Structure 1
Amino acid sequence: MVPAQFRVVVTRRPKYASRACEDGVLQAEAPARLIEGGPPTEATVAQVLVSKYADHLPLYRQAQIYARQGIALDRSTLADWVGHAAFHLRPLHERLLTVLRARSKPLADETTVPVLDPGRGRTKTGQLWAHAADDRPWRGPDPPGIAYVYAPDRKAERLFSHVAGFKGVVQVDGYNAYPKLAERGEVELAFCWVHMRRNFYELARAGPAPIASEALKHIAAFYAIEKEIRGRSAEERRLVRQQKSRPLADAFEVWLRAKLALISQKIKLAEAIRYALSRWQGLTRFIDDGRIELDNNTVERSIRSIKLSRKNALFAGSDGGAEHWAVVASLVETCKLNDHDPLAYLTDVLTRIVNGHPNREIDQLLPCAYRAQALQAVA
């Protein structure tokens, strides 16, 4: 085995002329490239994208790595390559988002993104909204996927525009924008038990907290049931939950209300209990719908990748840079969910795009459809 190395690909295009022909001098056309007249192949650009959005290496660190190999690439050059790639990948991102919005039970989450704001001389706080779907726990027919959407602020109206036209159940955390979405009457919310559990866990971890510890035992009983039914059909899951989880939920609610009446309303334990009770309908919606998960962990895990990149890069250079982040990260994370190699995927897709892949067949290039297409091609 040898470390990864760069190599120079030379394309020779000899010119031909004939006195017997009227066409004059002929020369083969240059191969299509993502960066016209530039040095990188699509594989090189894909490597930059994967290093930045999957391996969380900021562009300045990548430039340093290339310099050690004798390749002088300025960070601004790499940023230009990222911008070109994101521009060509944007239709794929939009199509992926459309596909996920059409799912019967999407998951949603959000995280902040510092964005450089030159006019103010500091950063502003943008938001990356995550829209995901994962039907594998109930053997659903569709592959998993996630799409991020950038918003330059944290206004709830941004969420309304992202889910415009959707009707059904959305699985969410406790962010206060989601109840406002439900008030519009088109969406039902299924709240995340992990977020509810976290409040009790923090109290139990800090020191002796018998009520919080008892709450954790109640919650663990629900997860034990979920472990048994993971991978079963939605109807099987619903029936088991009706039989086993419903009595536990009824008893847990009574227990929470009883404990809340016994303690001071100003302490954090009371806040944790009120958080659960105020969202109880959404927390227990999973009992009547086998498609709903107990928590939002699928999208939470994908958000961690965004947070790692944010930690290493500190901020996005502009609103446009944050939008590029959303586009490429969506495809990279969907590759991961479908067990695809992001580098191989992006190299192939960028090559197909610059060679004129028809837009009417864009679904073939989605990460969630990529494996089936490759297997068909091999066959």
Structure 2
Amino acid sequence: MLDTQQLKAEDLKGLSPAELTALAVQMLAHIGEQTKHIDALDKRVNSQAQGIKWRDAKIESITFQLAKLKAWRFGAKTERMNAEQREIFEETFAADQASLEAQLAALQSSTPDGSPGGRAPEDEKRRQPKREALPAHLPRVDQRIEPEDTRCPTPECGQPMVRVGEDISERLDIVPAQFFVQRQIRGKWACKCCQLLVQEPAAPQVFDNALPTPGLQAHTAISRFVDHIPYYRLEQINARSGVHTPRSTLAAWGGQTGAQLMPLYDAHRAFVLSSRIVQADETPISMLDPGAGKTRKAYMWAYVRGAFDPEPGVVFDFCLGRGGKYPSEFLKGWSGTLVVDAYAGYDAVLSLEGRSTAFCYAHARRKFDELIKTAPKASPVAAEAIQRIAWLYRIEADARELTCEERLQMRRERSKPLWDQLHLWLKLERTRVPDGGAIAKAIDYSLNRWEGFGRFLLDGDVPLDNNHCENRMRPWALGRRNWLFIGSQLAGERAAVVMSLLQSAKLNGHEPWAYLKDVLTRMPTQLNSRIEESLPHRWQPAG
């Protein structure tokens, strides 16, 4: 058979019709293979072009945010802040800058298809400030990294190599209540006859040239977002151990940690919204407004998998307002039952097909409870309402450990008759009280939303109230009393990322420091395709 690649015109002379037919078939097959190859190349080029376009847009956006941050920092408007506000602003700026620079470095060092790329040229690297030597009084814990085989790897040689030196790098680490310096000692092995040097590479790190280890990063994040310790107090705590960690440095570590956890947060958000029962709530948080020299009201929204879900999880979303556009955007593409209070902002979310609402009956109960506390003798109707509602909650306590089907069956047998009786009683009592009174408003609150309150009788996985979600908001209330306000929108978004993972880790029974330390240790070598292994509901401590 002729080689179509080397075929010449004179080669066709003297060929029989059968040979010409076979040659044509061969050439058509070759053309078909080339066409497929060209199509595959076109798809790859288009994919890479889209990747480059997205990366360039992201780099432009982050570069703009960095420039805006620097303008705010050095602008005259910062003079309107008092000393305390200026300190918070400087902390937030350090964290925001570190977060944006970490994201920018990740984009600039990756290839268009998302695979890790080479390091940036030396002249493009940001100049690193010279840092002080780690305190000499801290104990050193050595990690010795040596080749598994110390024989010369040259096939023709194979002789034992001689250890000729080592490289020592020091990074700051911590165990609870004790600092120590982690040293990585990488031995150098050389073959004298081959003039060959062998040394194990340095262990991968979350951030190149970073001072803190994953353990110290996790400790700083836990102190900030679990123990709610402001950075200035954490600086003082560390100083008692003889370690100087300025609040700006701690804030920068926090910014880098938040940036590193973003892919995990995105995967965790998808997991939470994969539940057909989602409970939602929001709480106000003060955010510093440097231009006005004061704070403004922002909101932290919480979305929690149903209270009876065997794989719990919560994801937070920091927003500048309380309008319905925020949950509508966050829940885009989700369908199921949303358990909420009666706030009208959720109406837009629930207007789409495939979604239903279940209202929190604890809110209805509070209306009656407030009447009892303010005028116990004048509220016999409220007292009886509380008693009737208590019967429903006793049944819920009995049904908590049952399966969805068993719980629904118990509710139909025991709760449904009490629910119907409560409905008739409330309508009767409403006819006996004057309009505009406190007891009338309490009764109307239940009657006007009766269908939403009764959703738990149609689905065994729908809870009677939204207390499970409201309990997830308690850390934010505690934090407000400690750090007073969020420094910026980026800081709020970063807090939502870290808190989502840490609170979900606690929901799944994990010790938050152990979880976060292990996750930050794995991150440098974690494949994107296996990132779900680090989600709180799937995470297993390294054996």
TM-score for the superposition, normalised by structure 1: 0.91
1:198 matched to 2:366: yes
Please state whether the residue corresponding to 2:292 is helix, strand or coil.
coil
User: Which letter does structure 2 place at the counterpart of 1:176?
Assistant: A
Higher RCO, 1 vs 2 (CA within 8 Å, ≥6 residues apart): 1
Task: Give the C-alpha shift of residue 5 in structure 1.
Answer: 0.7
What CA distance in whole angstroms lies between the structure 1 residues aligned with 2:183 and 2:402?
A: 54
Task: Name the counterpart of 1:325.
Answer: 495
Task: Give the C-alpha shift of residue 196 in structure 1.
Answer: 1.3
Task: Give the C-alpha shift of residue 331 in structure 1.
Answer: 0.7
CA contact (8 A) 1:204 1:212 kept: yes
Task: Name the counterpart of 1:160.
Answer: 328
Task: Give the C-alpha shift of residue 237 in structure 1.
Answer: 1.4
Q: Deviations over 1:160-206 (max 9, x none)?
A: 01111122211112222123322334321111111111111111112
Task: Name the counterpart of 1:368.
Answer: 537
1:149 matched to 2:325: no
Q: Deviations over 1:103-153 (max 9, x none)?
A: 121111111121112122222222111111145x4xx5x411111111122
Task: Name the counterpart of 1:271.
Answer: 441
What CA distance in whole angstroms lies between the structure 2 residues aligned with 1:179 and 1:190?
A: 12
Task: Give the C-alpha shift of residue 53 in structure 1.
Answer: 1.1
What CA distance in whole angstroms lies between the structure 2 residues aligned with 1:205 and 1:309?
A: 28
Task: Give the C-alpha shift of residue 14 in structure 1.
Answer: 5.6
What CA distance in whole angstroms lies between the structure 1 residues aligned with 2:194 and 2:490?
A: 51
What CA distance in whole angstroms lies between the structure 1 residues aligned with 2:290 and 2:463?
A: 42
Match of 1:95 among 267, 273, 276: 267
Task: Name the counterpart of 1:337.
Answer: 507
CA contact (8 A) 1:131 1:148 kept: yes
What CA distance in whole angstroms lies between the structure 2 residues aligned with 1:13 and 1:100?
A: 43
Query: Are residues 207 and 358 of structure 1, via their aligned partners in 2, closer, same or farther at CA, if it must alter by over 3 Å?
Result: same
1:110 matched to 2:110: no
The percentage of counterpart residues that share the same residue type is 37
1:304 matched to 2:469: no
Task: Give the C-alpha shift of residue 73 in structure 1.
Answer: 1.0
Task: Name the counterpart of 2:235.
Answer: 63
Task: Name the counterpart of 1:175.
Answer: 343
Question: How many residues are matched?
Answer: 367
Task: Name the counterpart of 1:33.
Answer: 205
1:234 matched to 2:413: no
Query: Are residues 229 and 325 of structure 1, via their aligned partners in 2, closer, same or farther at CA, if it must alter by over 3 Å?
Result: same
Please state whether the residue corresponding to 1:317 is helix, strand or coil.
coil
What CA distance in whole angstroms lies between the structure 2 residues aligned with 1:211 and 1:263?
A: 10
Please state whether the residue corresponding to 1:55 is helix, strand or coil.
coil
Q: Aligned ranges for residues 285-296 of structure 1 at < 5 Å?
A: 285-296=455-466
CA contact (8 A) 2:289 2:295 kept: yes
Please state whether the residue corresponding to 1:129 is helix, strand or coil.
strand
Query: Are residues 3 and 120 of structure 1, via their aligned partners in 2, closer, same or farther at CA, if it must alter by over 3 Å?
Result: closer
Q: Deviations over 1:263-309 (max 9, x none)?
A: 23222222221111121111011011111111112111111012111
User: Which letter does structure 2 place at the counterpart of 1:4?
Assistant: A
Task: Name the counterpart of 2:527.
Answer: 358
What CA distance in whole angstroms lies between the structure 2 residues aligned with 1:272 and 1:180?
A: 25
CA contact (8 A) 1:134 1:143 kept: no
Task: Give the C-alpha shift of residue 87 in structure 1.
Answer: 0.7
1:245 matched to 2:415: yes
Please state whether the residue corresponding to 1:10 is helix, strand or coil.
strand
Please state whether the residue corresponding to 2:537 is helix, strand or coil.
helix
Task: Give the C-alpha shift of residue 35 in structure 1.
Answer: 3.9
1:261 matched to 2:434: no
Please state whether the residue corresponding to 1:368 is helix, strand or coil.
coil
What is the RMSD of the two structures over their aligned residues, measured on CA atoms?
Answer: 2.0
CA contact (8 A) 2:313 2:537 kept: yes
What CA distance in whole angstroms lies between the structure 2 residues aligned with 1:67 and 1:216?
A: 53
Query: Are residues 228 and 54 of structure 1, via their aligned partners in 2, closer, same or farther at CA, if it must alter by over 3 Å?
Result: same
More displaced 10-residue stretch of structure 1: 70-79 or 259-268: 259-268
1:7 matched to 2:175: no
Please state whether the residue corresponding to 1:106 is helix, strand or coil.
strand
CA contact (8 A) 2:300 2:316 kept: yes
CA contact (8 A) 2:235 2:246 kept: yes
